[in-house]
Structure 1
């Protein structure tokens, strides 16, 4: 990273010097920006590797999650569990890390809190999307959002508003939709033409489901598995919409994949994590761990993180 940063600074300064060459008085003034640029590079280099060194030394890592069953949530006994935290426990154990501290936050704050250093890894089954890849680095995916992990919609029992797709919601301005801020469902609803004035933003799927229960919204959008988990908690009030049209683009829907998020400067940590993750995903142990969260062999990843970030 140091070489890349210094080369970039040198190219930038070189370009300016060529353009300013006729004015010899200005050229010496470029020395200060060059020194500052290289100092910044040194700062970047100083921070790179620090996270892995600390985790290895203290045998403790902090994972950030937003409550969204079955990907990440706190069970009644207080344990943070779900598809992502349980995989994280096993991968970090293979890396010699004994302790995991779970930090809860809102889904829309996960990337910000990661980059600000509140925790070291996002472990909440976050979709690997191109726009997110510009902000953080992703591990190799651990699942694909197919079958029961695809898009879902929760409504009151009997579906009184007759909602079966985002297009139904967009067509009726009086319908109110609950979405978790920053999620892919939020993006899909906007693409389908659902107006911002129709949407209520919630910090997590539990709060969104409560919005339907309380009557604040008519429906809430989340992954199918998350909707099912919320319906199970409120069986007399909520139901999951069958055959929900969750992809407004038409044609064959694109299947998303989920993985772990890392700060870009923590590439050594991501690579060490991925080295163990590749050996784990798809094994009998992995499938046994994630079966209770709705992940089977049919939902194993079919693309790499690089491929997902590029599409």
Structure 2
């Protein structure tokens, strides 16, 4: 009996020690996780990298050229912000439909991807002050005289970006025959050219870029009507106030020193900050 009691005591001691050790390990791990999440700006500066989430088929904001080089307005702006913060900029390609979820899961530090500020998104993430005043517009194939206003979209096939504000706008229009949703803006504009759809609802910078770029000139028509007024901003995970403040300070300085004007002229052919 004494031998049995002794065995039980030894076993309980081992179990208790193991549990205590595991508990200590878990506590240390959680403490490290909490420390990582306390201050996003400190984390970025310690790593020396600002990770930027984007969807890379949204010219002229962000896209890949024929050599697969990432470029665009947002790319130049993000690099300039990184320089102001004293860190490198790393771009993380993400499907636009899941970009907010990816930010909140920690896949990257900020979203700089032609992201329009709206009330639904403001409940999920925080935003910088607007850096572009955007609008939703209608693009048709050149020569299509049947569509001159949004009312003419009745009975037509219309393309929109999946997860974009154009997807919301099209729901307010009456009588549309079919709405086709696309992961990439370039795909819907290509389908417009080959006649699979009759029109595209898209962000104004994209529409204007397509009608002015040399290889697309004369192929598209952008209607004068603006369906919305929706500013674009940098997106932040809620609670990352230090990082948001630092990025906003960088943006303000870039506007003041003329950098944003140069980027605007490069990609839009005009200084939108005058």
2:261 and 2:248 map into 1 onto residues whose CA distance is 17
Q: Matched residues in 1 for 2:158 and 2:118: separation?
A: 23
Shift in alpha-carbon separation, 1:295–1:157, aligned structure 2, 3 A: closer
The 8 Å contact of residues 62 and 73 in structure 2, kept in 1 or not, is answered as yes
Return the match for 2:76 from 64, 86, 97: 86
Name the TM-score, length of structure 2 as normaliser.
0.78
SS of aligned partner of 2:147: coil
Aligned to 2:4: none
Deviation of the 1:235 alpha carbon: 4.3
Q: TM-score, normalised by structure 1?
A: 0.69
Q: Does 1:163 align with 2:147?
A: yes
Whole-Å Cα distance in 1 between the matches of residues 151 and 78 of structure 2?
37
Where structure 2 has 5 or more consecutive residues not aligned to the other structure, the ranges are 1-30
When the two chains are superposed, the root-mean-square deviation of aligned CA atoms in Å is 2.6
CA contact (8 A) 1:225 1:294 kept: yes
| Bigger Cα Rg | 2
Provide the rounded CA distance (Å) in 2 between the counterparts of 1:180 and 1:221: 8
SS of 2:180's partner is: strand
Q: Distance in 2 between matches of 1:58 and 1:222?
A: 36
Do structure 1's residue 114 and structure 2's residue 103 form an aligned pair? Answer: yes
Q: Which of 207, 210, 223 is residue 242 of structure 1 equivalent to? A: 223
Moved more, 52-61 or 87-96: 52-61
Residues 245-286 of structure 1 deviation map (CA, whole Å, 9 limit, x = unaligned): 332xxxxxx632111111113222111211222222243222
Report the number of matched residues: 242
Within a 5 Å distance, the mapping from 1:187-206 to structure 2 comes to 187-193=168-174, 198-206=178-186
What does residue 238 of structure 2 align with? 264
Inter-partner Cα distance in structure 2 for 1:128 and 1:299: 19
CA spacing shift, 1:159–1:241, aligned 2, 3 Å: farther
Asked if the contact 2:157–2:180 (Cα under 8 Å) also holds between the matched residues in 1, the reply is yes
**Structure-2 separation of matches of 1:140 and 1:275:** 10
1:287–1:295 Cα contact (<8 Å) kept:
no
Pair 1:299–1:127, CA change in 2 (3 A): farther
